[in-house]
């Protein structure tokens, strides 16, 4: 088995996790580059990469696979450099991990006719932590990994890249850049706009009624969790995918106008159908895989308000060697008094936890 060489440019959570995952091949040497020298040294110390490089061009030289795990703006800048001056191996496959694809794929046309091929990529995975220390080789397991080739002529390279990425245990899917940006606008980018807007509404409301903020500790905090995301990153994503976002905002306004008219009319049947239809469709959404929004693989446990209930649950999981990433209590629900939300690293750990706790306790345990 011949040795393969891969370069990871950008060693944050995604780049570091990708570097660790592809090492599962056993015959891959990973060279890394990061603009932060400390991050670069740390990545090598942690075993995330095998070698360091003094520049992105140096990291890419002679590599079979080159991944840009950098912000889209920076990826586009480096693609321009790569097309005009990098010493790329013949047949090299370049890819990225960016959240928007149309702009990047426009730049990728510079590789048309070149011996190297660029294929856009977007692993839909994340974590509540960031940085190379948070990198985990299992991060992409059961997550969708979307690939956006420049055209049909890239099909052989796409199959080759899919084979290379198979060790991540992600689910690869091939879509166009336009399809990618439209779909992620619906299920990721627009929800971030809505979540941030809801938080801003709360902020405005608390100017008149400060106690409202205290009531937001439960369900409201959960549904607006994504509003705590990095504002710099989401500023860039919003600008890069603004055309699709404007379409979604216009459709949302139409929907809200319809809802407003329905509420104003007092039509109880329509209101019931509105909520019932939403519940019915939401309940059909997949729960065992990652989607466009970062998921914490939560397991909900309805616990009694009694001493030792939390330690009992945590103890069972610890004794079974099942790792958890977070535990929190949600109290502001209309149907129950207390929910213990246990977050796991993977969907497999969550399923093990669900089976274990179902066997050991009489608590109501479910996944939302």
- The pLDDT tens digits for 291-324 are 555 566 788 888 776 677 788 888 888 888 888 8
Residue 293 placed within a domain = no
Q: Is residue 147 domain-shared with residue 211, that is, in the same domain? A: no
* Confidence grade of residue 176 (pLDDT, cut at 50, 70, 90): very high
Task: Kindly give the pairing relationship between strand 65-68 and strand 4-9.
Answer: parallel
Tell me what the mean pLDDT of segment 22-46 comes to: 96
212 belongs to a structural domain: yes
Same domain assignment for residues 206 and 270: yes
Q: For position 96, what pLDDT does the model report? A: 97
For residues 193 and 265, membership in a common domain is answered with yes
Query: 207 and 166, same structural domain?
Result: no
DSSP-assigned letter for residue 189: I
pLDDT mean over 54-58: 96
pLDDT category, 223, cuts 50, 70, 90? confident
Whether the Cβ atoms of residue 313 and residue 105 lie closer than 8 Å to each other? no
Question: What is the pLDDT, as a whole number, of residue 94?
Answer: 95
pTM exceeding the 0.85 threshold for the entire prediction:
no
Tokens representing 276 are 């019932």
Q: How far apart are CA 312 and CA 308, in angstroms?
A: 6
- 16 and 135: one domain? yes
Cα 154 to its chain centre, rounded Å, is 26
pLDDT for the residue 289 = 57
Find residue 31's DSSP bridge partners: 7, 51
In a domain, 288, yes or no: no
Could you tell me if residue 321 is inside a domain? yes
Domain end, chosen from 175, 203, 229, is at 175
Q: Which of 88, 84, 97 is nearest to 22 (CA)?
A: 97
Residue 289 included in any domain:
no
The string of pLDDT tens digits covering residues 141-153 is 888 999 999 877 6
The residues, ordered by sequence, that sit 6+ positions from 32 with a Cβ below 8 Å of its Cβ are 7, 8, 9, 11, 15, 19, 40, 43, 44, 48, 49, 51, 52, 53, 59
Distance CA 155, CA 2 (A): 23
The answer to whether residue 214 is domain-embedded is: yes
Using CA atoms, how far apart are residues 67 and 139, in angstroms rounded to an integer?
A: 16
| Residue after which a domain boundary falls, among 138, 154, 175 | 175
CATH code assigned at 305: 3.30.70.260
Q: What is the pLDDT of residue 270?
A: 95
Residues 76, 163: one domain?
yes
For the cut 70, the answer to whether the pLDDT of residue 102 exceeds it is yes
The pLDDT score that the predictor gives to residue 182 is 96
Q: Both 43 and 130 in a single domain?
A: yes
State how far the Cα of 120 lies from the Cα of 200, in Å rounded to an integer.
34
* Whether residues 22 and 90 fall in one domain: yes
Q: The tokens 């004794």 sit on which residue?
A: 319
Residue 333 pLDDT exceeds 50: no
Query: pLDDT-based confidence at 58, cuts 50/70/90?
Result: very high
Give the residue from 227, 249, 282 where a domain finishes. Answer: 282
**CATH number of the domain enclosing 75:** 3.40.50.720
Domain match, 105 and 138 both: yes
Residue 258's pLDDT band (boundaries 50, 70, 90)?
very high
pLDDT given at position 331: 55
Q: Is residue 195 part of a domain?
A: yes
Q: Distance of CA 143 to CAs 196, 211, 276, 316, Å?
A: 25, 39, 29, 28
Considering the domain architecture, whether residues 171 and 118 belong to the same structural domain is answered as: yes
292 inside domain: no
pLDDT at 1: 62
Same domain, 21 and 78: yes
CATH of residue 278's domain is: 1.10.3660.10
Identify the CA nearest to 295 among candidates 99, 127, 122: 127
pLDDT surpassing 70 at residue 128:
no
Q: Can you say whether the dihedral through the CA atoms of 75, 227, 38, 29 is positive or negative?
A: negative
Domain shared by 13 and 73, yes or no: yes
Which pairing describes strands 171-174 and 51-52: parallel, antiparallel, or unpaired?
unpaired
Determine the pLDDT at residue 113: 60
Q: What whole-number distance in Å separates Cα of residue 199 and Cα of residue 220? A: 9
User: Domain count of the chain?
Assistant: 3
List Cα–Cα distances, 301 to 41, 221, 314, 356, 366, in angstroms: 42, 18, 11, 12, 7
Higher pLDDT, 213 or 363: 213
Which residues, listed in sequence order, are joined to residue 365 by a DSSP beta bridge? 301
Given a contact cutoff of 8 angstroms between Cβ atoms, the answer to whether 111 and 94 are in contact is: yes
Q: Which domain holds residue 354?
A: 298-366
């Amino acid at each position: 088995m011949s040795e393969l060489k891969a370069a990871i440019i950008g060693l944050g959570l995604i780049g570091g996790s990708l570097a660790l995952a592809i090492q599962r091949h056993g015959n891959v040497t990973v060279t890394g580059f990061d603009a932060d020298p400390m991050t670069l040294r740390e990545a090598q110390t942690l075993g995330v990469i095998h070698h360091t490089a003094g520049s992105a061009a140096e990291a890419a030289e002679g590599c079979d696979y080159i991944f840009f795990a950098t912000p889209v703006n920076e990826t586009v800048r480096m693609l321009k450099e790569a097309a005009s001056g990098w010493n790329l191996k013949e047949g090299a496959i370049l890819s990225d991990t960016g959240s928007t694809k149309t702009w990047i794929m426009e730049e990728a046309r510079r590789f048309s006719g070149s011996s190297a091929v660029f294929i856009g990529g977007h692993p839909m995975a994340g974590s509540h932590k960031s940085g190379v220390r948070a990198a985990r080789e299992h991060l992409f397991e059961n997550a969708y990994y979307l690939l956006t080739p420049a055209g049909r002529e890239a099909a052989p390279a796409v199959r080759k890249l899919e084979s290379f990425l198979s060790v991540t245990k992600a689910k690869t899917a091939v879509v166009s850049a336009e399809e990618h940006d439209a779909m992620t606008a619906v299920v990721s980018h627009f929800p971030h706009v809505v979540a941030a807007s809801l938080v801003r509404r709360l902020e405005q409301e608390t100017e008149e009624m400060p106690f409202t903020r205290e009531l937001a500790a439960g369900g409201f905090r959960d549904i607006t969790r994504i509003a705590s995301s990095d504002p710099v990153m989401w500023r860039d994503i919003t600008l890069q995918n603004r055309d699709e976002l404007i379409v979604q905002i216009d459709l949302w306004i139409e929907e809200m106008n319809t809802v407003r008219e329905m509420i104003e009319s007092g039509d109880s049947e329509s209101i019931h159908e509105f909520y019932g239809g939403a519940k019915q469709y939401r309940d059909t959404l997949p729960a065992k895989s990652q989607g466009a929004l970062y998921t914490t693989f939560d397991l909900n446990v309805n616990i009694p308000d009694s001493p030792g209930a939390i330690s009992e649950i945590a103890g069972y999981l610890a004794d079974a060697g099942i790792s958890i990433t977070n535990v929190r209590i949600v109290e502001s629900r209309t149907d129950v008094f207390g929910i213990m939300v246990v977050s796991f690293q993977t969907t497999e750990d969550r399923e093990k936890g669900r089976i274990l706790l179902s066997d050991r306790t009489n608590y109501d345990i479910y996944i939302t």
